Amino acid sequence: MFKKTTTSAVPTVKNSLQNALFLQTALLVSATVFLMVLTAYLLARSQIRMVTYDQLRTVASAKEDLLESILSRQREQIALLGDESEVVDSPAIRRLLGLEALFTVQSDRTITIVKGEIPYTLSAESINLIMQSETTTLFPIFLNKELVSYVIVTPKETVGEHLVAIFDADPLLAMALDSSVGNGNLYIGFRNENDLYLLHAQNGVPTSLYVGPFDDLFEKNVALALAAGGREGELETEDYADIKVLAAYRSVPTLGWGVMATTDRATAYAPIARLTSTMFAAGFVIIVLSVLFVLNLAKRITSPLLELKDKLSSLETKKWSFDRTIFTGNELEIVDNAAFELTGRLRDSYEHLEEKVRERTRELAEKNAQNEAVLRSIEFGLVVTDAKGIVNLVNDAMSGLTKHNAQDAVGKPFEGILTLAGKDDKPLDPKEHPINVVLQEKKTYLRVPDPGFLLVTADGQHVPIFIAVTPIMQGDTCIGTVAVFRDVTEDRRIDKLKSEFISLASHQLRTPLSAIRWYIEMLLHGDCGQIDHECYKPIEAIGVANDRMIQLVNSLLHSAKLEMGTFSINPKPIDLIDVLRSVEELFAHEVRSKGIEIKTSGVDAHVPIVADADGLKLILQNLIGNAIKYSPEKSQVEIIVTHGDKELSIVVRDQGIGIPEHQKQHIFEKLFRADNARSTDADGNGLGLYIAKIATEAMRGTITFISEEKKGTTFTFTLPQ
Ligand code: ADP
């Protein structure tokens, strides 16, 4: 029972604890490190961006302030120059101021040069702008989309007259673009009509570059366009060389320009990349250290477990030694101790069990020997089959009777061992073989009266046997059969002698009984002279007793003839109505006195039935006679005939005392009478149904009944047609 577990049954370790711990720790630590690095990266990035934007905003504001202050200074100077233009007489001073020309524009658009020379022809549009200025204003002058100069206009006291100064734009631009933003750049954008221009210093020379249509770029949130459009803010964008930059932008309202300071994003974020790689390196070290630590821990857990497993797998029957070896002071030691105690208990119970098994085996062997002895010694032949009819067990008596070898019989179909013939000596229809009947019906086979089977032995002899078969049931399933059978040659010989004797005696008795009857009839009819009134009754009683005696003798004679097989059966077409009428006449007196109604149905006068007239009369006489005898007064007896092509069926139904449930199985036995019948009618002899049964079977028919006590009985018998 406690066999050592074979190697194949040991489950292999698919997911080792070490691997699981290693994987889980590596995953957990890696995820933590990754999250920390990511958080640090994002924080540093936003911090750096904030600082960079601050710097860029400062540069842009400073530039805006510078430009604003230069321009306001120049405006003030122009206002003053209106009266003291001699200051700029010197070309050196003019160059210093960047002043190219100073002139007045009259209300009639006449231009009067005060100092210097206008370097180009002023367009009508520019003159319009000059004329419209009501305060000191500034506007740039473009030539071929190039900013060449800017004009500062101051209205003079004389109405309609304006003092105009043209400044060279280069010094202003040089100043505006002269800036460095660490690693960044400064751009100035301006709008001329609907075009956006970018001012930048190319090799120190201010250059203007056409960027695109202003409205589109403003829509698209291009920083320079936003600045030139009067907005301020910061964003991440691409510069004109498509390099990703961080940008801060502001506007210079006086000029309508925009200032944008940018710095290369990659350069700005360079410290973050360094920080991230440092953190990754540190994270990697943390991961390696954690994994090493966990591996060590896992080993400390798994090695005692594996040791425990080895100790447990080495346990086997009769080898229960288990030593405690784990003293880790933790749960593992508790498990080791529990295994130690369990092994001890297993050892004890195994030893106890072994003793029990030995004892039980001895008992079983004794019982088995006893059973075998019983089986061997019974004179009944025994054949045990499984549900398919294969022989499982036989006894010696079976060999003696069938002449088949007991050992050869086992494992073979029962038909070859227990071959039967009917009492007419013809081979038995396999369906009627008692073992097949039991396998089919799952009910005990014990036929009364005995059907008189003959056993066909291995050497071809036909031996009369009595056979009973019982099903072996497991719940509702029949798992086999037990057949017992016995040689009844001697019984049948004695029965035959008995029947012959009864037949002879009955014959001998019938003649004197008939004579007695004849004389009683004569006495009662006064053929021998008038008899006294007192003598009449006793003579009548003698007549009744004599009739009963004749009836009994007839029954005995019939049963003896049927048993001996001398009751000749000759089926031929007969009129069923005649037969029924003659039977009913027999009971006419009783029917009248009890007021019973006999109701016959289904009889067709034109169609004769095929049967032996005497046999049929004998059966009907017994069935109808019983129905009348066991029925109460004024009840009904029904006779229902169904005449089919192959079968004639006659039902005799009464409303009488019925048959007690517990005595139904004995009803066809010879001389059997049920308890309720004995108390109702003391004169029965228990031969009627016995005769009806053998007569029916002799005519190859069947007889069955259903009955309920105090409600009535229905007998049905069939005859082949
Ligand atoms: P008996 O002479 O006693 O009627 P039978 O052999 O005819 O003998 O019947 C055997 C027994 O069967 C009866 O004693 C009775 O107990 C029972 N039996 C037969 N027919 C009927 C029936 N129609 N109603 C009730 N019991 C019946």
User: What's the confidence (pLDDT) of residue 7?
Assistant: 42
Q: How confident is the model at residue 716 (pLDDT cuts 50, 70, 90)?
A: very high
Q: How far is the CA of 674 from the centre of ligand 1 (A)?
A: 7
Q: How far is the CA of 521 from the centre of ligand 1 (A)?
A: 30
Q: How far is the CA of 13 from the centre of ligand 1 (A)?
A: 80
How far apart CA 721 and CA 700 sit, in angstroms, is 10
Which residue do the tokens 């419209």 mark? 132
User: What's the confidence (pLDDT) of residue 8?
Assistant: 45
- The structure's pTM equals 0.47
Q: How far is the CA of 448 from the centre of ligand 1 (A)?
A: 16
Better-scored residue on pLDDT, 431 or 81: 431
Arithmetic mean of pLDDT over the chain: 87
Are the beta carbons of 381 and 398 closer than 8 angstroms?
yes
Domain 378-487 has CATH 3.30.450.20: yes
Q: Which of 100-114, 305-319, 387-401 has the lowest mean pLDDT?
A: 305-319
Output the residue whose Cα is nearest ligand 1's atom 21. Answer: 626
Q: Which of 12-21, 103-112, 596-605 has the lowest mean pLDDT?
A: 12-21
Q: How far is the CA of 624 from the centre of ligand 1 (A)?
A: 11
Q: How confident is the model at residue 1 (pLDDT cuts 50, 70, 90)?
A: very low
Q: How far is the CA of 681 from the centre of ligand 1 (A)?
A: 10
Domain ranges of the chain: 16-311, 315-374, 378-487, 569-721
How far apart CA 684 and CA 672 sit, in angstroms, is 10
Are the beta carbons of 325 and 314 closer than 8 angstroms?
no
Q: How far is CA 104 from CA 90, 126, 161, in A?
A: 19, 13, 7
What are all long-range contacts of 486-493, with beta carbons under 8 Å and residues at least 24 apart?
486/379, 486/380, 486/381, 487/401, 487/455, 487/463, 488/450, 488/464, 489/463, 489/464, 491/464, 491/466, 492/452, 492/464
pLDDT at 5 over 60: no
Q: How confident is the model at residue 658 (pLDDT cuts 50, 70, 90)?
A: very high
How far apart CA 156 and CA 692 sit, in angstroms, is 160
If you average pLDDT over residues 381-392, what whole number do you get?
94
CATH topology match: 378-487 vs 569-721: no
The answer, yes or no, to whether any atom of ligand 1 lies below 6 A from the CB of 626, is yes
Please write the tens of the pLDDT for every residue from 290-313.
888 888 888 888 888 888 888 888
pLDDT at 57 over 80: yes
The answer, yes or no, to whether any atom of ligand 1 lies below 6 A from the CB of 625, is no
pLDDT at 256 over 90: no
Element (H, E) at 140: strand 137-143
User: What's the confidence (pLDDT) of residue 581?
Assistant: 94
Q: How far is CA 628 from CA 118, 553, 588, 680, 715, in A?
A: 160, 21, 10, 12, 13
Q: How far is the CA of 368 from the centre of ligand 1 (A)?
A: 46
Q: How far is the CA of 515 from the centre of ligand 1 (A)?
A: 30
For ligand 1, mutation pick of 659, 704, 717 (most atoms within 8 Å of CB): 659
User: What's the confidence (pLDDT) of residue 465?
Assistant: 95
For ligand 1, mutation pick of 619, 689, 706, 708 (most atoms within 8 Å of CB): 689
Domain 569-721 has CATH 3.30.565.10: yes
Rounded to the nearest angstrom, the gap between the alpha carbon of residue 374 and the centroid of all alpha carbons in its chain is: 53
Are the beta carbons of 657 and 673 closer than 8 angstroms?
no
The answer, yes or no, to whether any atom of ligand 1 lies below 6 A from the CB of 686, is yes
Output the residue whose Cα is nearest ligand 1's atom 4. Answer: 684
Q: How far is the CA of 630 from the centre of ligand 1 (A)?
A: 8
Ligand 1 atom at minimal distance to the Cα of residue 667: 12
The answer, yes or no, to whether any atom of ligand 1 lies below 6 A from the CB of 703, is no
For ligand 1, mutation pick of 630, 651, 696 (most atoms within 8 Å of CB): 630
Output the residue whose Cα is nearest ligand 1's atom 16. Answer: 674
The answer, yes or no, to whether any atom of ligand 1 lies below 6 A from the CB of 673, is yes
Tokens of 508: 């001998």
